[in-house]
C-alpha cells in the first residue's frame, strides 16, 4: 500500500471518528495515537502492543506532542540487562517477537516517570524507532552547587535546589525521587560555565562514600563452597559503611565531612547518582536478540542507565541518535550513551551527538565466561564473571567459541561449536558443544564467542562533555572511526583487552581512525593517552593488529596523544598535533607517544606543534618517529 493512500485513509478515519475519541485509532496494521490519549499514555499504548500478534502491526505513529508515561499501569518483567542492574521494571513498549515494526513519534516528546525502560525490544526483527525524544520528569541523578570549603576541617558545603528533595538519615544525605532515591556515592563535578565535566575532576571526585565496616567479628566462620563475587553487594562478608557524613546547616545547605580527595572547587556542580550496583536501573532502549534495529532522529535526554544497550543482536544502525540533557540539566544518561555486547553484523553510528552522559559514548565488546568444570566430553559448566552480565547467553547454536588462557595468549588455543546453552542461573550456565572438548581445558579458562563481533562504523559524531571515554572498541572485525569530534574526560578511543574485572572480551584489529578532531581529551586528570591500546595483563603477547590512525587533528592541552602496547602493525600518519592551551598541563614531562611491547609501528608525515620535549618513548629502539615534524 503506497504511503499516500495510508495517509489519506488515516485522515479519513480520523475525520470520521473525531480525531481519536480515546486517543487512538487503528487502520489495518497501523496504529495512530493522538495527544488526546490522556495524562498517562501507558495503558493505551500497552494495550495496542500486547494485543498485537507477531508481525500484525507495521506502524505505530504518534501525533506530534508531549506524552507522559507512568509506571503504575506499565507492563512488568524482571530483566537481566548487561552492564546494568538486574531489575523488576515496567514499560509501555514491550516489543517482543515483533517483525517489521516502525514506531514514529513525528517529533513527539515522551516523558517517563520513575522505574521504566521506555523501549524493551526483544527477539524481534527489523524494528525502527524514529522522530522522538525521551526524557524523564525526574532524573535519576541529582545536582548541587559547591558553595564553600573549609580546608582546615576538610569539609565542603553544597547548596541543593528545591527541585531536588532530600533527606538526611543517620547523617547520610539521600536524594529523594518519586520512585527512587540515591546517596551521594559516585558523585562527580560538572563545570556549569562549560556545561561539561570539570577539568581535573578525578583529583576531587568521585566522592568515595564507601569504606569497610568499622567492626567485623567472626567472619572466618562464613564459608563458601564456590567462588563468590564480592563486588555484588549482597554477598560481601565484610560489607561497607558510609564514610561521608552530612549535616544540614540550613534548609538546602548541607556540609559534607570526611571527603578523602581534594575539596571540590566553589562554583562547580556536584552531580550524584548513588552507589554502584544500584544506579543502573532504567536504560532508554534495551535491544536483546534482535535482527536489524534502526533508531533515526531519536534524542535521549536522560535515562537512569544507558541510552541504548544492545545484546546479542545484529545489524544496528543509529542515525542522528542523540544523547544530550534537556533544559539546564548537566547530565544526559547516567551511564554510557550506547553499549553493544555480543553483537554481530554491522553497527553503524552516524551523525550522532553524545553529550554529558556519565559514562562512555559507546562501548562495543563481547563477554568472557569462565570454565567452572567439564560435565561430560561435550559439556561445560561456565560462570558469568561480572554481576552486571548475569544471564548473558554466550552464543547460539552453531557459534564458534574460542578457548582462551590469557596468561598464555590473547588468541584461542582451541575452538568448538555451540550445540546449546542452558541457563541454570544468572551466574551459571551449562554449554553443550558439537565436538568433543579439547583435552587441555582447565577450570579458569575463558570462553569467547568468535562469531559475536560486529563490523563498526562511527562517523560524523560529536562526543563531548561526558565522563569517561569516547569509544571503547573490542572487536576484531573491520572498524572505521571517521570524521568525528571528541572532547572527552578520559580516553577518546580506548582499545583494551581485560578479563579480571569487567569480563569484556574482544581484542582490536583492522581499525581505521581517520579525519577526526580530538580536542582537550583526557582532561579528567589521569595520566593516559587520547588514543590508547592497552591490556590489563603484564604479558607481551600481541593483542591488537592492523591499526591505522591518519589524517586526524589533535588539539590537546597536554602532551600524551597515543599509548600503544601489545600491538602489531600500527600506522600513525598525516596527523596534526597542536597544543590548545585550554587547560594547564597536568603532565608536562610526558612524551607525545608511548609504545611498548609492540612491533611494526610506523609514524609518517605527522605535524607536531605541541609542548612535549620528547615525541616518542618506546621500549623498542627500532621504532622511531622520524617524520614527526
Comparing CB distances to a copy of itself, the nearer of 281 and 318 is: 281
Least distance to a copy of itself from the beta carbon of 166, Å? 6
Options 56, 64, 238, 261; binder of a copy of itself; rule CB under 8 A:
238
Give the residue with the Cβ less far from a copy of itself, 137 or 515: 137
Sole window of 150-158, 165-173, 466-474, 487-495 interacting with a copy of itself (rule: CB under 8 A) = 165-173
Using alpha carbons only, give the angle 83, 87, 89 rounded to the nearest 5 degrees.
120
Residue whose C-alpha cell reads 498517562 in the numeric block: 40
Binding of a copy of itself by 282 (CB under 8 A): no
Is residue 328 near a copy of itself by the rule CB under 8 A? no
Span from 26-34, 171-179, 256-264, 473-481 in contact with a copy of itself (CB under 8 A) = 171-179
Query: Of 139 and 470, which CB lies nearer to a copy of itself in the complex structure?
Result: 139
Does 206 sit behind a cis peptide bond, omega within 30 degrees of 0 on the bond before it?
yes
Provide the b/e sequence for 425-455 (b: ≥16 CB within 10 Å). eebbbbbebeeebeeebeeebbbbbbbbbbb
Among 3, 5, 153, 218, binds a copy of itself (CB under 8 A): 218
583 SS3 class: coil
Closest-CA residue to 393 (of 341, 318, 332): 341
Q: How far is the CB of 178 from a copy of itself (least distance, A)?
A: 5
**Cell numbers 609514524 label which residue?**
603
C-beta of 54 vs 73, nearer to a copy of itself: 73
Residues 18-57, one symbol each (x = binds a copy of itself by CB under 8 A, - = not), give: ---------------------xx--x--x---x-------
| Binding status of residue 351 toward a copy of itself by CB under 8 A | no
Nearer to a copy of itself, 79 or 511 (CB): 79
Cα dihedral 563/568/573/575 (nearest 10): -20
Cβ 358 vs Cβ 333: under 8 Å: yes
The minimum distance between CB 335 and a copy of itself, in angstroms, equals 20
The DSSP-derived string for 110-123 is EEE-SSB-SEEEES
Q: How far is the CB of 18 from a copy of itself (least distance, A)?
A: 19
* Angle (nearest 5°) at CA 337 between 335 and 343: 105
Provide the minimum distance between the beta carbon of 236 and a copy of itself in the complex, in angstroms, as a whole number. 9
Q: Which is nearer to a copy of itself, 192 or 426 (CB)?
A: 426
Contacting a copy of itself within 400-429 (CB under 8 A): 422-428
Binding residue for a copy of itself, selected from 5, 234, 609, 621, defined by CB under 8 A: 234
Binders of a copy of itself in range 377-396 (CB under 8 A): 381
Distance CA 612, CA 556 (A): 11
614 CA to centre of own chain: 35
**240 makes contact with a copy of itself (CB under 8 A):** yes
Q: In 10 A of CB 164, how many CB atoms?
A: 17
Decide: is 1 part of the binding site for a copy of itself (CB under 8 A). no
Rounded Cα–Cα distance for residues 339 and 325 (Å):
18
The total of other beta-carbon atoms located within 10 Å of residue 90's CB is 25
x-marked contacts with a copy of itself along 86-125 as a string, rule CB under 8 A: x-x-x----------------------x------------
514/436 Cα distance (integer angstroms): 44
How far, rounded to the nearest angstrom, does the alpha carbon of residue 37 sit from its chain's CA centroid?
33
Q: Which of 2, 18, 152, 223 binds a copy of itself (CB under 8 A)?
A: 223
Which residue's CB is nearer to a copy of itself, number 178 or number 408?
178
Closest to a copy of itself by CB, 427 or 467: 427
- Write the Ramachandran bin of 525: left for phi over 0, alpha for psi from -120 to 50, otherwise beta: left
Which residue number, 135 or 504, has a Cβ lying nearer to a copy of itself?
135
Q: Does 164 bind a copy of itself (CB under 8 A)?
A: yes
- Is 170 near a copy of itself (CB under 8 A)? yes
Between 13 and 179, CB nearer to a copy of itself:
179
> In 446-530, where do the E strands start and end?
446-449, 455-459, 462-464, 471-473, 479-482, 485-487, 493-497, 504-505, 509-514, 517-519
490 binds a copy of itself (CB under 8 A): no
The three-state secondary structure class of 280 is coil
Q: Which of 56, 106, 241, 501 binds a copy of itself (CB under 8 A)?
A: 241
Contacts of 521 (CB under 8 A, 6+ apart): 470, 486, 487, 488, 489, 490, 491, 492, 530, 556
From the CB of residue 155, how many other CB atoms can be counted at a distance below 10 Å? 17
178 binds a copy of itself (CB under 8 A): yes
Question: According to CB under 8 A, which one of 24, 62, 67, 70 is a site residue for a copy of itself?
Answer: 70
**Member of 8, 56, 72, 266 binding a copy of itself (CB under 8 A):** 72
d(CA 313, CA 340): 9
Task: Decide if residue 193 touches a copy of itself (CB under 8 A).
Answer: no
Nearer to a copy of itself, 76 or 408 (CB): 76
Q: Applying CB under 8 A, which residues contact a copy of itself? A: 39-40, 43, 46, 50, 70-76, 78, 86, 88, 90, 113, 160, 162-172, 174, 176-181, 213-219, 221-226, 234-235, 237-242, 248, 251-252, 381, 422-428
Amino acid at each position: 500500500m503506497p504511503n499516500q493512500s495510508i495517509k489519506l485513509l488515516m485522515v479519513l478515519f480520523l475525520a470520521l471518528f473525531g480525531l481519536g475519541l480515546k486517543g487512538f485509532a487503528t487502520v489495518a496494521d497501523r496504529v495512530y495515537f493522538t495527544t488526546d490519549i490522556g495524562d498517562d499514555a501507558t495503558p493505551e499504548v500497552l494495550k495496542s502492543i500486547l494485543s498485537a500478534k507477531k508481525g500484525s502491526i507495521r506502524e505505530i505513529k504518534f501525533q506530534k506532542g508531549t506524552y507522559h508515561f507512568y509506571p503504575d499501569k506499565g507492563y512488568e518483567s524482571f530483566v537481566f540487562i548487561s552492564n546494568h542492574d538486574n531489575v523488576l521494571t515496567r514499560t509501555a513498549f514491550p516489543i517482543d517477537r515483533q517483525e517489521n515494526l516502525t514506531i514514529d513519534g513525528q517529533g513527539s516528546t515522551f516523558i517517563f516517570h520513575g522505574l521504566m525502560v521506555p523501549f524493551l525490544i526483544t527477539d524481534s526483527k527489523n524494528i525502527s524507532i524514529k522522530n522522538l525524544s525521551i526524557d524523564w520528569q525526574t532524573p535519576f541523578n541529582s545536582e548541587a552547587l559547591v558553595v564553600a570549603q573549609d580546608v582546615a576541617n576538610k569539609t565542603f558545603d553544597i547548596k541543593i535546589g528545591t527541585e531536588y528533595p532530600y533527606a538526611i538519615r543517620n547523617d547520610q544525605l539521600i536524594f529523594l525521587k518519586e520512585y527512587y532515591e540515591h546517596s551521594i556515592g559516585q558523585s562527580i563535578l560538572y563545570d556549569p560555565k562549560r556545561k561539561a565535566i570539570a577539568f581535573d575532576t578525578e583529583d576531587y571526585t568521585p566522592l568515595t562514600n564507601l569504606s569497610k565496616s568499622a567492626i567485623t567479628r567472626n567472619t572466618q566462620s562464613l564459608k563458601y563452597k564456590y567462588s563468590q563475587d564480592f563486588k555484588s553487594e549482597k554477598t560481601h562478608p565484610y560489607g561497607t559503611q558510609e564514610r561521608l557524613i552530612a549535616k544540614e546547616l540550613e534548609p538546602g545547605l548541607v556540609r559534607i565531612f570526611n571527603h578523602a580527595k581534594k575539596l571540590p572547587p566553589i562554583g562547580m556542580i556536584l552531580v550524584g547518582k548513588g552507589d554502584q550496583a544500584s544506579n543502573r536501573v532504567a536504560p532508554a532502549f534495551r535491544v536483546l536478540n534482535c535482527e536489524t534495529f534502526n533508531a533515526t532522529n531519536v534524542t535521549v535526554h536522560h535515562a537512569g542507565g544507558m541510552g541504548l544497550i544492545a545484546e546479542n543482536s545484529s545489524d544496528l544502525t543509529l542515525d542522528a541518535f542523540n544523547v544530550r540533557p534537556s533544559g539546564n540539566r548537566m547530565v544526559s544518561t547516567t551511564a554510557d550513551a550506547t553499549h553493544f555486547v555480543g553483537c554481530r553484523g554491522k553497527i553503524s553510528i552516524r551523525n550522532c551527538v553524545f553529550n554529558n552522559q556519565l559514562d562512555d559514548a559507546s562501548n562495543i565488546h563481547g563477554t568472557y565466561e569462565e570454565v567452572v568444570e567439564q560435565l561430560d566430553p561435550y559439556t561445560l559448566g561456565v560462570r558469568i564473571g561480572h554481576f552486571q552480565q548475569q544471564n548473558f547467553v554466550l552464543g547460539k547454536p552453531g557459534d564458534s567459541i574460542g578457548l582462551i588462557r590469557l596468561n598464555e595468549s590473547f588468541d584461542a588455543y582451541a575452538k568448538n561449536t555451540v550445540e546449546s546453552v542452558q541457563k541454570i542461573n544468572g551466574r551459571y550456565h551449562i554449554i553443550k558443544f558439537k565436538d568433543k572438548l579439547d583435552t587441555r581445558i582447565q577450570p579458569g579458562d575463558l570462553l569467547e564467542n568468535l562469531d559475536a563481533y560486529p563490523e563498526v562504523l562511527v562517523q560524523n559524531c560529536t562526543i563531548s562533555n561526558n565522563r569517561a571515554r569516547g569509544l571503547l572498541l573490542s572487536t576484531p572485525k573491520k572498524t572505521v572511526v571517521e570524521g568525528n569530534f571528541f572532547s572527552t574526560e578520559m580516553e577518546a578511543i580506548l582499545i583494551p583487552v581485560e578479563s579480571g574485572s569487567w569480563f569484556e572480551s574482544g581484542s582490536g584489529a583492522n581499525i581505521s581512525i581517520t579525519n577526526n578532531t580530538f580536542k582537550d581529551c583526557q582532561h579528567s586528570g589521569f595520566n593516559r593517552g587520547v588514543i590508547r591500546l592497552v591490556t590489563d595483563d603484564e604479558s607481551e603477547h600481541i593483542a591488537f593488529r592492523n591499526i591505522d590512525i591518519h589524517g586526524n587533528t589533535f588539539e590537546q592541552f597536554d602532551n600524551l596523544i597515543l599509548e600503544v602496547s601489545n600491538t602489531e602493525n600500527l600506522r600513525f600518519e598525516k596527523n596534526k598535533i597542536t597544543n590548545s592551551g585550554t587547560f594547564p598541563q597536568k603532565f608536562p614531562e610526558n612524551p607525545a607517544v608511548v609504545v611498548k611491547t609492540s612491533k611494526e609501528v610506523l609514524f609518517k608525515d605527522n605535524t607536531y606543534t605541541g609542548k612535549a620535549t620528547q615525541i616518542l618513548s618506546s621500549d623498542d629502539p627500532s621504532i622511531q618517529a622520524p617524520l614527526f615534524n
